[in-house]
Copies of this chain bind each other. A is one copy, B any other.
Amino acid sequence: MEPARDTPAVILLSGGLDSATVLAVAGDMGFRRHAISFDYGQRHVLELEAARRVAAAAGVMEHRIVRIDLSAAGGFGHSALTDSVPVPKDRPASAGVPATYVPARNTIFLSIALGYAETIGAGDIFIGVNAVDYSGYPDCRPEFIRAFQVLANVATAAAVQRGQRFTIHAPLLTLTKAQIIRLGLDMGVDYSLTHSCYDPSGDGAACGHCDACRLRLAGFAQVGVKDPARYRG
């Protein structure tokens, strides 16, 4: 079912491989795309720069960057993404919740995306969560997406008083990293614009050893395509 050409959708865009793919999926479905990114005290701004590049290349209608001080006053949680905790390298795949877990992160992001969606009259919100490769994150599971969708439909004036129906789209939920990359390549996504590494060097080169780099490299290897990201060393 293709939406009307002017049907707006909100897409959460991190600047990584997954959300760049989701942005393409939403475009492929015919939505008018409004991207939203978050500046939440990441240790580096490379992610946001990548988000800007990806949004521009996709020709989105609008790209908003929302700042939240999750790292203010000591930070929410002690995450390697916002604090000075070392990023884990070459760790086994099934080691539980990674140090990169940020408490309630996707809940917070989806909530703000919901406010944005209600404001622009969008009922469709896209998020690039994935339950296969990132099973350590509780807010990347189908149960979470379903619960948020239920919440969205009781939380807003649009849903309760104006008959808007909110749908949370998580098109990558059950795909492997290789399947995501294949999907994106089929749609013409330029993955050289994306940034995945949790521990890049000063010039933006990826480390190749953090969880994000390893998943990404393994995915490209499975697809049989060279990862266009720049790695150091």
Contacts and interface: CB of A to CB of B under 8 A. Distances in A.
Interface residues of A, number: 50
Interface in A83-97: 96-97
B118 A114 contact: no
Interface string A132-167: 000001110101100110111011111111000000
B67 A161 contact: no
Interface string A43-69: 000000000000000000000111111
Contacts of A160: 138
B115 A108 contact: yes
Contacts of A148: 151, 155
Given A107-B111, A108-B111, 16 more contacts: A66-B70, A76-B116, A76-B118, A78-B119, A103-B115, A103-B118, A103-B156, A104-B111, A104-B114, A104-B115, A104-B155, A108-B115, A139-B155, A147-B151, A148-B155, A150-B150
